[in-house]
Amino acid sequence: MISIWKRWTGRVSSTFTRTPSKAKAVRRRAHLRPVALVGVVVMALAACSGGGGADAENSAQTKDTLRIALSSFGNEQLDIVEEAGQVASNILLPMYDSLLEIGKDSSIQPGLAESWNTSEDGLTWTFKIRDGVQFHGGYGELTARDVVFSIKRWMDPASQSTEGPTLREKIKSLDAPDDRTVVIKTNGVQVDLAYYFAPQQANSGTVMSEKYLTEGGTSGFAAQNAKMNEKPIGTGPFQFVSRQRGQKVVFEAVSNHWRAKPAMKRLEFLLVPEPATQVAMLQSGQADIIEATSENVESIESSGNEVRSIKDAMGIALLFTGTYRPPAQKKATSDANVRHALSMAIDRKTILKQVLGGHGTMPDTPFDTVASSSAIDPDHYKKIAAEWQRYDPEAAKKMLADAGYANGFDGVKMITFTRPGAAFLPQLGEIIASQWAEVGVKTPIVAIDYGNFRPHFVQTKDSDTFNAGDVSPYNQATRFEAVDLLRTYYQDDEGFIRAVRNPDLDALIRKAAAEQDEEARTELVSQAFDIVHAEWTIVPLFRVDALYGVNSETVGAWHTFPGWGFLGRMIETIEP
């Protein structure tokens, strides 16, 4: 047996970073309008159309209660399988333990599984389950049967789980030969499987009680989902107390939890859609933690509160969609040289400084990764990173002229939408379009809801004309596993986004996914990204920080996880 968990050791460590107490005024160009950079749950929260806020009970600040104001509760699902992964990682994760856990350096660490191994051929994974972990509500000790039951819930085709299709593809069979052992057989070698059971990549390692969800003859995913939405049961350091839809969700700390001992006894998530209202609640003591934005940092700090940040919590990129589809072939953006030229016409540094308040960094590893992501060699990307960061309008004009567009072009739309934690994406699209106009490229803005955009973005058909050859700003939470990123965005025959059509790339990604030697796998990933980056279909723009407004009198120091901007594991680290 080969022990593999040490392979995923992170390369960076983290403590929280405080922003400067005085914001510096900057002049903005006419087309560089300030935008709100959402933090804390920056990747987790979608825009919410409903109202909400703190009620009278929330006005009384108590020492043992932590109140967190959020702009959205997503779908308001309490079943973690059904709630969007980003929202679940903030609001629901505190009441669950995971099969594997996120370490202080963002590495994968033991969780409910004390240890795990893979067979010599890489086709069998064996997890040893921790003794003595108790479910909330008196539902007894967690066993291997609960782990198998929970993974099957995540894989259930009746669910809306985003992890479900991937798990069904990866996992051939699940078994619990005894109360402390889980055996998973995979469809081919799946070196990245561990990431799906740890919070960095997914929430599908969270474990539910089989006894609770099947008692009274309850069966079928829908019935079990209804039960979880009435009263969810987990094993985490917080247990569910109550929910008022559209207002708040309340948890209380579990005494003598095996893994974490929270400093607070009660945890309340408050739905407060308006940023100004969140700031007012922080100032009045009705909230202890709020989402901060690049625009309200100064007002938060001037009132005696504190802004904390997590570096590199989210990647921002520009997507050239469906450039290989037949309907795109008459558009200028079907040419990789044109896409490269358009990248050079974007003034990233100015946008980052003047629009996003400097709360981010220029890209130096592939989109959606950080230096500590598995199979990423930061040195390999130095040359291409310099080209990502390059702003040279004159060189862009020359490259466009060489491609046959000396006078620029039109006919390509800038399709914009908001995404969880990125309400600024439409304004970013407008800014980029105005900068492209300076090199003769006219890109009309088309605003759309992301729900309407996604069917033309994920697993699209070649005949789809909607956004073929068009462009959109896009965001995604940082990923810590590079091969799955390649599969998701770039693999054409089995991927979801299919940003590149190249059979050689598909074969290279599959080879990397099956390679068990870490050094060899990293080299294959580097080769794959070399092909990807030459296409310029997903153009990295920035890595953006997550920002928090905090009452430092009621919220002690906490530990952040580099590149991981969610609340779900930070809350339990808050010191008294």
State pLDDT tens for residues 130-153. Answer: 999 999 999 999 999 999 999 999
Contact 291, 39 (CB under 8 A): yes
The mean pLDDT value for 543-549 works out to 91
pTM for the full predicted model: 0.79
Torsion angle of C-alpha atoms 404, 409, 412, 414, degrees rounded to 10: 120
Residue 14: pLDDT band with limits 50, 70, 90: very low
State pLDDT tens for residues 300-357. Answer: 999 999 999 988 899 999 999 999 999 999 999 999 999 999 999 999 999 999 888 8
State pLDDT tens for residues 369-397. Answer: 998 888 999 999 999 999 999 999 999 99
Of 70-79, 176-185, 276-285, the poorest mean pLDDT is in 70-79
DSSP 95: G
Q: Among residues of the chain, what percentage have pLDDT more than 90?
A: 65
Residue 53: pLDDT band with limits 50, 70, 90: very low
Beta strand 266-271 pairing with 65-70: parallel
Residue 209: pLDDT band with limits 50, 70, 90: very high
pLDDT for position 495: 61
pLDDT for position 268: 97
More confident residue, 559 or 46: 559
3-state secondary structure of 165: helix
What domains does the chain contain, in order, with CATH numbers?
Answer: 2-305+551-573 (3.40.190.10), 311-544 (3.10.105.10)
Of 49-63, 281-295, 301-315, 377-391, the poorest mean pLDDT is in 49-63
What's the mean pLDDT when you consider all of the chain?
87
State pLDDT tens for residues 393-427. Answer: 999 999 999 999 999 999 999 999 887 667 789 98
More confident residue, 104 or 8: 104
CA 316 to CA 393: how far, in whole Å? 21
Q: Among residues of the chain, what percentage have pLDDT more than 70?
A: 88
Q: Does the pLDDT value for residue 27 go beyond 60?
A: no
More confident residue, 491 or 273: 273
pLDDT for position 334: 97
pLDDT for position 47: 33
CA 489 to CA 482: how far, in whole Å? 11
CA 250 to CA 89: how far, in whole Å? 16
